[in-house]
Amino acid sequence: MTKFLLLLWLVSPAALRAANDATPLIFTLGDKEVLRVAASDMAKRPNARTIEIFDPAFKKPKKYRAVPVKDLLTAAFGGAWSENALGELFFDALDGYRSHAKVSVLMQSGGMIAFEDLDAAGWEAIPNKGMTPAPYYLVWTGPEQKPKSGYPWPWAVVGVKMAILEDEYPNALPKGAGPDSAPARGWAVFKRSCISCHSMSGHGGTVGPDLNAPRGITRYQRRSFLKKFIKQASAFRHTKMPDFGELEPKELSDLMAYFDHMSDLHGTK
Ligand code: HEC
């Protein structure tokens, strides 16, 4: 409820300009806060600049004021952050979306934290999403750095956390599954495409429902339905769940094996 009210407040036009300054971007390492930066601080950084990109969320060119995400990560975690080969950066968004990407992706050039939309006073609403990318929006300037190519573009970001995925989401790990078993392959798909929105027994994003608590999804939904739904949720409902038409039948079966394994593991019925 509080989150909902906060969202309402953020999208009201009067609050839009104030929102950025009132809401800092908070960086944490493990459970420790290491830095907070407001939009006004970002604007003063020497590398702040105007960028023009083709924005996949708006499906048109957009102009932002932005700072390189690498600069902020260095300010937060020190110069050696990029040597943490096992590390992942988690981006916490206002709507419960929680994307993650490896340090090796974030250390590439092109990632920018946008803190001001230069096309609209305040921020322009994202088509069909009912929200704007404020207060902070991770965008990429390289033409090949698209969401589908593994570059995260989370909007409405308020927190950035550095952690190791296995430490962050122990409840989602398919413990006891062999390295190339179907549940382990299903976990790889889930980690890549689903965990930003869905939790498993409490660990993951919260845009969609938890798929293992209190009951395992394959314990109460038919596999044939689940496979069709996951491939094309939009054919069933108007929903925030995206279509995953590119998933192969084998990947869908692997996902089912992962769900079964997880509900066995957590003793859900
Ligand atoms: C952008 C967020 C998002 C992503 C990414 C996402 N989902 Fe969802 N999903 C949702 C939302 C929101 C719902 C609940 C609304 C609905 O059921 O339409 C949902 C519902 C579901 C359901 C419940 C169906 C039912 O009726 O019981 C399943 C199963 C599911 N998602 C599986 C997946 C899988 C598997 C992936 C990855 C391949 C995935 N989702 C990726 C947002 C997402």
For residues 241-247, average pLDDT: 96
User: Nearest C-alpha to atom 7 of ligand 1 is from which residue?
Assistant: 241
Q: How far is the CA of 241 from the centre of ligand 1 (A)?
A: 5
pLDDT at 8 over 90: no
Q: Between residues 106 and 267, which one has the greater pLDDT?
A: 106
Ligand 1: centre distance to CA 243 (Å): 9
Pick from 128, 148, 198 the residue to mutate for probing ligand 1's pocket: most ligand atoms within 8 Å of its CB: 198
Query: How far, in Å, CA of 45 to CA of 209, rounded?
Result: 39
Instruction: Yes or no: say if 241 and 194 are a contact pair by the CB < 8 Å rule.
Output: no
Predicted confidence band at 1 (pLDDT cuts at 50, 70, 90)?
very low
Q: Is the CB of 217 under 6 A from ligand 1?
A: yes
pLDDT tens for residues 95-112?
999 999 999 999 999 999
| Per-residue model confidence as pLDDT tens digits over 61-89 | 999 999 999 999 999 999 999 998 899 99
Atom of ligand 1 nearest to the CA of 239: 18
What mean pLDDT do residues 111-125 have?
96
Ligand 1 atom nearest residue 237's Cα = 18
Q: Which of 100, 77, 265 is nearest to 166 (CA)?
A: 100
Question: Ligand 1 within 6 A of 229 CB?
Answer: yes
268 lines ligand 1 (CB under 6 A): no
**Residue-averaged pLDDT of the chain:** 92
Sorted by sequence, the CB contacts under 8 Å of residue 14 that are 6+ apart come out as none
Rounded Cα distance between 268 and 229, Å, is 22
Q: Shortest CA distance to 137 belongs to which of 15, 25, 255?
A: 25
Cis upstream peptide for 147 (omega within 30°): no
Determine the Cα–Cα distance for residues 162 and 241; give it in Å rounded to an integer: 26
Protein residue with its CA nearest to atom 29 in ligand 1: 226
Alpha-carbon distance 269 to 260, whole Å?
Answer: 10
198 Cα–ligand 1 center, Å: 7
